[in-house]
Amino acid sequence: MPVGTKATVKSLHPDEVRALGAQVVLGNAYHLHFRPGEDVIDDLGGIHVFSGWSGPILTDSGGYQVFSLRDTISSLDEAGVTFRSVYDGSDARLTPEGAAEIQRRLGSDIAMCLDVCLPAGAPQKELERAVRLTTVWAERQVDAARAPGQLRFGISQGGTDDELRRRSLEEISTLPFDGFALGGLAVGEERQEMFDCVEWAAPLLPRAQPRYFMGIGDPVGILEVIARGIDMFDCVLPTRTARTGSALTWEGRLNLRNARYRADGRQLDEDCPCPACERFSRAYIRHLVTQDEILGLRLLSLHNLWFVLDLTARARAAIERGTFSAFRQDALARLARPSEEES
């Protein structure tokens, strides 16, 4: 799911995002609450009308944003969390009911519960408290008012701690949510430790509802969590990588600022039909990037999103054919090949 934090996938028209194969895009309740405000979006017809995206939209509750900026938090209790806005430093308060109401007024199709998301290495007592508050808050959000047709997903916490993660999974999965997410991963822990946790945690989620890994979007990570039972995932990585001047390819990540591409007439990735590759060379895109031309970042964003969306489409097709294991093995082998910049 491409991330459109502020109701836009950066630099791209909604029709372009749709044409790349995206089915769902994300918005962030934290940022939209402060700018322009859910009241403005509601009055203008909801987030679909406001953003021009006619497909499904998932909104994060803002919990990750609040807790990733821990130095802005002034108090945390069973009722909610008080913090300073990143926009003007003013005091703000977010409660489970408030997060649900913001998302109701935004009118998203999938609303995420407010949870307590801690970084890797958080003290055990803080992790225990995060699990407890996440469950208490989930219980208060499961029946909160929703926009017409809006689904609500619960989130489990507990980091990679076996006991706490299992406790959270059991508590959250017994609540009547429409889908369930693994939160509190990809937050600084060792990568293999994260995959090992998903290996046993994902199967503990209900089979009849979607399983969502929050915050993974690199090609290898996507394949690995799919293999472990995950259905949905999001990450800013494809577009953020594009804004650094890099392309995701089967040769690895290409840094187009590298002088080796100055006269490289090849497309970004062999046989890629994306809007960037169908017409433009590495040399031209490098020229745009090094000259700070907006088109360069747009083309790389289009390409990177195509790459991960095409990868997931191929993975889905392989699952339907019953050949995912072979597909994954072949894809991982291709992605593991040394890139030109490594050779």
User: Catalytic positions, please?
Assistant: 60, 234
Q: CA-to-CA distance for 2 and 309, rounded, in angstroms?
A: 9
Calculate the alpha carbon distances from 330 to 22, 162, 320, 342 in Å.
Answer: 24, 31, 17, 21
Greatest Cα pair distance in the chain: 60
CA-wise closest residue to 13 among 41, 50, 51: 51
Question: Which stretch of DSSP H or E encloses residue 125?
Answer: helix 124-141
Q: Do residues 156 and 213 lie in contact, with contact meaning Cβ atoms separated by under 8 Å?
A: no
Torsions phi, psi of 232, nearest 5?
A: -135, 150
- Which residues have a Cβ under 8 Å from the Cβ of 64 and sit 6 or more positions away? 117, 183, 214, 215
Q: CA-to-CA distance for 33 and 95, rounded, in angstroms?
A: 13
Q: How many CB atoms lie within 10 A of CB 114?
A: 30
And the tokens for 13?
């028209």
